[in-house]
Amino acid sequence: MYLKELTELDGVSGNEQQVREFISDKIKDKVDELKVDVLGNLIAYRKGTKGGRKIVLAAHMDEVGFMVTNIEDDGTLAFAPVGGVETQVMVGKIVRINGQTLGAIGYKAIHIQDKEQILKPLSIDQLRVYIGAKSKEEAARQVKIGDYVAFTTTFDQENNRLTGKAFDDRAGCSVLMDIIDKIDRYEDDVYFAFLVQEEVGLRGSAVVVEQIHPDIAIVIEGTTAGDDPELPEYQWATHLGDGPAITFMHRGYVVNKRVYESIIEVAEKYSIAHQAKRRTAGGTDAARFARTGAGTAAAVVSVPSRYIHSPVSMIDLNDYNNTVLLLQKILEQGEAFAR
What are the residue numbers of the active site?
A: 198
Q: Three-state DSSP class for 71? A: strand
* Residues contacting 235, CB < 8 A, separation 6+: 226, 279
Q: 130 exposed, middle or buried (CB, 10 Å; 0-12, 13-18, 19+)?
A: middle
Strand partners, 128: 106
Q: 320 exposed, middle or buried (CB, 10 Å; 0-12, 13-18, 19+)?
A: buried
- Nearest-CA neighbor of 328 among 316, 337, 339? 337
Instruction: Give the Cβ contact number of residue 249 at 10 Å.
Output: 13
Contact 13, 62 (CB under 8 A): yes
Contact 65, 83 (CB under 8 A): yes
Instruction: Give the Cβ contact number of residue 269 at 10 Å.
Output: 10
Measured CA distances, 170 to 44, 133, 222, 302, 309 (Å): 17, 33, 8, 11, 12
Backbone angles phi, psi at 2, to 5 degrees: -115, 20
Taking each helix axis from N to C end, the angle separating 167-182 and 17-27, rounded to the nearest 10 degrees, works out to: 10
Instruction: Identify residue 247 by its one-letter amino acid code.
Output: T
- Nearest-CA neighbor of 331 among 175, 168, 205? 175
